[in-house]
Structure 1
């Protein structure tokens, strides 16, 4: 059974990786400090928990659970809204951590690969990579959430960009929404596509209309 607390989840993963206690604890402190920093509103520990729970719920689709879980833990560890290299920097931190472990080099690179693919969910994805597809869909599932949850997410993202003036944020956010709506595929797995695509496009359209009216 999957542990219920995030610390216990990390501890279970650390045990499977054979981490010494000092590295396990130091890395957990590093991760929680990043996700609990004052500028985080959506990209927080709650987001990490949701992805870990989703991966567990769909574990039958996962081939390399440790790689997927590591990608989840590290994929937003660096999150600066005014930079465009967060994914690369997050992957670099994952590699810095994994270099201290006996995790095989090929699997280390897989962790970075999964993280870096979150930079643009609308890009074509490699076929038949079910771990990548599930990871990306878990990361994007908020788009197809219930209306109230989606609007909470939209407001939280705006809070993360609070230093960006409304006129600039509105322009940038509309571009993001239009790009997502223009993507022929939002969700990579048939399961998530069937379950969430219609709701996601409805939510995205609603937010886009709201920005066209002036804002949230």
Structure 2
């Protein structure tokens, strides 16, 4: 069986939300253009595909599949490494899109909430919000990836911040790594925690040591 394309995945979701074919296609082109922009190296359509596949593989853990898929599609739609409001702007873009769908207001707000919570994965999260936990864990699964995949991710993120001088990037990246390592909880979902936590902390410590030596 041929794997389903990203465009087909989007089309199926948008059709369930009551969009016309023309609007489905126009919105996909808008999203694809954002994720395929020249400055994207990690936060690209490959990242979106990975999250959608993860949600599909763990569908028993997801209560609202449509909300989850919308949050995945839009969570990095706006991504400017030199700004700190990307999550809010991505949520706003999602809201503009969802206003054209049959999705009820409460579920639209839910999508925006999930997106906005990706601003800081180390902040305390609502204890009973299992869909939020899954979404955040899926977004951070790269941290616990195989060593070669993690280093590719780290280099891709550096490329996205290519306009930031090394001395400034090194300082900022070390702060991010230290904050993640000091967080008592990296993964909220038991399955993710068991499978990825130890590897993620090992990868984070390795990158931190590399920056202390001077860089990647």
TM-score interval (norm. to shorter): over 0.9
Q: Distance between the aligned counterparts of 1:3 and 1:133, measured in 2? A: 27
Change (3 A) 1:101 1:2: farther
**Aligned residue number for residue 112 of structure 2:** 112
**Aligned residue number for residue 50 of structure 2:** 50
Q: RMSD of the TM alignment (CA)?
A: 1.1
Q: CA deviation at 1:37?
A: 0.2
Change (3 A) 1:78 1:193: same
Q: CA deviation at 1:128?
A: 1.4
Q: Distance between the aligned counterparts of 2:208 and 2:174, measured in 1? A: 6
Change (3 A) 1:2 1:62: farther
SS of the residue aligned with 1:95?
Answer: helix
TM-score normalised by L of structure 2: 0.98
Q: Does the alignment pair 1:37 with 2:37?
A: yes
SS of the residue aligned with 1:77?
Answer: coil
In structure 2, list runs of 5 or more residues that go unmatched: none
Q: Distance between the aligned counterparts of 1:107 and 1:22, measured in 2? A: 23
Q: Does the alignment pair 1:25 with 2:25?
A: yes
Contact 1:52 1:69 (8 Å CA) reproduced:
yes
Q: Which 4+ residue blocks in structure 1 deviate beyond 3 angstroms? A: none
Q: Distance between the aligned counterparts of 2:101 and 2:2, measured in 1? A: 23
Q: Distance between the aligned counterparts of 1:212 and 1:2, measured in 2? A: 45
Aligned residues: 216
1:142-194 CA distances to partner (integer Å, 9 max, x unpaired)? 00000000000000000000000000000000000000000000001011000
**Aligned residue number for residue 4 of structure 2:** 4
TM-score normalised by L of structure 1: 0.98
Q: Distance between the aligned counterparts of 2:95 and 2:14, measured in 1? A: 15
Q: Does the alignment pair 1:212 with 2:203?
A: no
Q: Distance between the aligned counterparts of 1:45 and 1:31, measured in 2? A: 9
**Aligned residue number for residue 15 of structure 2:** 15
Q: Distance between the aligned counterparts of 1:32 and 1:2, measured in 2? A: 21
**Aligned residue number for residue 203 of structure 1:** 203
**Aligned residue number for residue 191 of structure 1:** 191
**Aligned residue number for residue 182 of structure 1:** 182
**Aligned residue number for residue 76 of structure 1:** 76
Q: Distance between the aligned counterparts of 2:189 and 2:63, measured in 1? A: 14
**Aligned residue number for residue 164 of structure 1:** 164
